[in-house]
Structure 1
Amino acid sequence: MNTSDFDGTAARSVAERLRTWEWIYLGYLLFLPAQPYFSPDPAWWEWPLTITVCAATVLLYALALLRGPSGWNLWASLVPMAVLGALATPFNAAASVLFIYAAAAAGNALPWPVARRWFTALTVLDCVTALLSQVPLLYRLLGFASALVMVWVVGLLELQQRDRRQELENQRLRTSQVELLATLAERERIARDLHDLLGHSLTAVVMRAQLTKELVLADPQRARAEAEEIERNAREALAAVRSTVTGWRRTSIRAELEVARRTLAGTGVALQVSCAEEPALVAATEHELGLALREAVTNVARHARASTCRIGLDTDGERVRLVIADDGIGGDAAEGTGLTGLRERVARLGGAVQRSGSAGTTLTITVPKAVAG
């Protein structure tokens, strides 16, 4: 499991725990039967009233939690709870717990300025019902005083938990977005590398196959050698595909110069390499620069109709310059996907590509040196 998976799972786990605590608030309903149970002479209607109030509270509170704290769902739970509390508390002080549930519903859904006004209104309603109550003074003090405090405590806790849940949901969405962007970037990398690697390898295979076909009767020994080279190129292409998909492939300037030598030799193009000193590059930079070299050589072999290709590599202060020049047809033809991809690859390194189409074609690739420490 990667870090983003862990972050997303942790966010969901914490949000679920916060939601579980909201159901625990129903435990306050246990106070409602206290008054008729301990009353020395309860009226006949006290027990039915208590059961009805408990059932209605559970229904309204569940509506607020399960259907979502927005729109008519909010008002269909918040307002009836406050009204039911105002009607029941004059006869049962513990019914003031409904003000607490109304505060929880308000804190769970309303912004702080509106929720604060609701908490204040519920506090006033609690005081008014205390004055109108027929409950003995002791029950009245216990019920209404505790409700007076808990309206604010529970309401503020719900506000805090709602903000926390929103933060966790935002974190989960950010994690999902990062995962999506990483997936898209990986797909682009694979597509780009496959184009560069397979484009070169398959070009070499096609050209050598054409040469082999011409040599089968004229020079069987050389045709056999070319067929062996075709097999080698195909195996290298297969290995490149596998390593590209797994993300472990790394190439180097030295390796790509050898690949360029074999590729151009198969098409009858002479290669001249000028490299005073091989620069020390970080692996990622050398890999990208090596693939850029491969794409440029592939274009020479495929399109240039050249007899000579010159590759030069030198450093200029903090920058590395790679020059690929041929004596082919040149011109200012529109750039294909290969050269466009090469420009994008070099741009990611903070470099640039210059193209000249006079007297053949010259590509000058300049990137930051990025010397490994």
Structure 2
Amino acid sequence: MSDDDEPRGARYVRYLWLAYLGSLVFQPAFDPDAGPLDWVLVGVLVALFLPLYLAVTRPRSDRAVLVLAGAMALLGLVGSLVNSGASVFVIYAAAAVAYLEPVRRALTAIGGLLGVLLLMLVVSPAPMPWRFLALAPAFVFTVVVGAVNVVDAERGRTRRRLRRADAEIERLAALAERERIGRDLHDLLGHTLSVVVVKVELAGRLVPLDAERAAAEVHDIEQIAREALGEVRTAVAGYRAGGLDAELARAHRALTAAGVDVDVDVELPALPAAHESVLALAVRECVTNVVRHAAATAARIDGALDGGTAVLEVTDDGRGADGPEGAGLTGMRERVSALGGAVDVTVADGTRVRVELPLAASPPVPRTPTGPAAAVEP
């Protein structure tokens, strides 16, 4: 009968149900042979019942509910020997056991209470047919109240399961968002800081040799830092700026600054925003790895449409890697996989990263191919 999820005002409704104890007064009120003792017995029955009722309406274990409901039914059985209205105690017991779990246990308990009513029908001292007329409402209301409360209990359990499911969904969504932010910050700042480090080292070497070139590199570092700041702001807002063309331009500039000869041959049509963003981040991650780890002298970025699949390849002649994949490559795989694509990494006389990203069934809109000349535009 207790439900932690009931509205605050509903918890007081349980006290209104005590009005049905009025059935105990019918017999002494309408029986011409009733005397003061019958009224005293009504008071005794109510006094014995109230603690049981108040206890069972508080959150209890199923075992405690069964014990309290059994005590109510026993009180009703004994009380029916002196007052046929005591059968109301069985109805209260049915309302309590209806909240047992699972539902089968609740229905079994209600069936047991109906058995108690049958026993009352046998032992009641009232003559027939008055005995049957007195207990018939108890049979009806035990079934009705028990069934209604079983449905209410199941509805309450369903609400609780839905709330737990909603809470779990929110928790998983927050976890996924934290992982997404971590991947995005790695891709945004990892690449940019790698370029900044390379250019700072280059500027430091140029200061005693070519001050004008060193100043140009410092100016370029400033521009890269400003672009990174803008990208972080747009990432926080949930957007990506620049697209694949801009990323290819940054890649060409970063590789050139690191002393890597780069050839860009990307001929892709206009892609959906999500696909273009994934490919742009793939280019960024690959170029970051070339600048940081590959010790390469040459690199190549190729892109083309193969049937309904956009294919992007980044290759270099560096030393490759034989350890576990880092967070950047793992994040790339997750993003590509989310769009139904695949990432293949081959290490042999350098490294080749191949990204295959299937497109939607509708044909993409042609755009001006992106080649080396376009890539070097700032």
Query: Scaled by the length of structure 1, what TM-score is found?
Result: 0.84
Q: Which residue in 2 is equivalent to 1:303?
A: 293
Contact in 1 for aligned 2:76/2:86 (Cα 8 Å): yes
Give the direction of change, closer, same or farther, for the CA distance of 1:366–1:105 in structure 2 (3 Å limit).
same
- Counterpart-to-counterpart distance in 1, 2:214 and 2:44: 97
Q: Which residue of structure 2 lines up, in the alignment, with residue 316 of structure 1?
A: 306
Q: 1:227 to 1:316 in 2, by over 3 A?
A: same
| C-alpha distance in 2 between matches for 1:279 and 1:107 | 65
Greater Cα offset, 186-195 or 235-244 = 235-244
Structure 2 counterpart of 1:260, one-letter code: A
Alignment partner, residue 92 of structure 1: 83
1:330 and 2:319 aligned: yes
Matched AA of 1:344: E
1:6 maps to none
Distance 1:91 1:275, change over 3 A: same
Moved more, 25-34 or 15-24: 15-24
CA shift, 1:169, in A, is 1.6
Which is helix-richer, 1 or 2?
A: 1
Give the Å deviation of 1:179: 1.2
Distance 1:181 1:105, change over 3 A: same
Residues 133-165 of structure 1, C-alpha deviations (whole Å, 9 max, x = no match): 456889756642211111111111122222222
Cα deviations by residue, 1:206-227 (Å, 9 ceiling, x for unpaired): 1111122223343333323322
Tell me which residue corresponds to 1:147.
138
Cα pair 1:324 1:362 within 8 Å, conserved: yes
| Residue 27 of structure 1, aligned match among 19, 25, 38 | 19
1:289 counterpart = 2:279: yes
Moved more, 122-131 or 282-291: 122-131
User: Which shifted more, 126-135 or 281-290?
Assistant: 126-135
Contact 2:231 2:241 in 1 (8 A): no
The CA distance in 2 between the partners of 1:42 and 1:214, in whole Å, is 115
TM-score by length of 2: 0.83
SS in 1 for 2:207: helix
Partner of 1:247: helix, strand, or coil? coil
Match of 1:57 among 49, 59, 80: 49
| Deviation larger for 84-93 or 42-51 | 42-51
Which position in structure 1 is the counterpart of 2:367?
none
Q: Give RMSD over aligned pairs.
A: 3.1
Q: CA deviation at 1:34?
A: 4.2
Structure 2 unmatched runs, 5+:
364-378
**TM alignment of 1:1-373, pairs within 5 A:** 24-37=16-29, 42-71=34-63, 73-109=64-100, 111=102, 113-130=104-121, 132-133=123-124, 143-249=134-240, 252-276=243-267, 278-326=268-316, 328-337=317-326, 338-370=328-360
Structure 1 regions of 5+ residues with no counterpart?
1-10
**Shift of residue 172 of structure 1?**
1.5
Distance 2:237 2:50 in 1: 55
Cα contact 1:81–1:102 (8 A) shared by 2? yes
Q: In structure 2, what is the Cα distance between the partners aligned to 1:120 and 1:358?
A: 76
Task: Give the number of aligned pairs.
Answer: 360
- The letter for the 2-side match of 1:295 is E
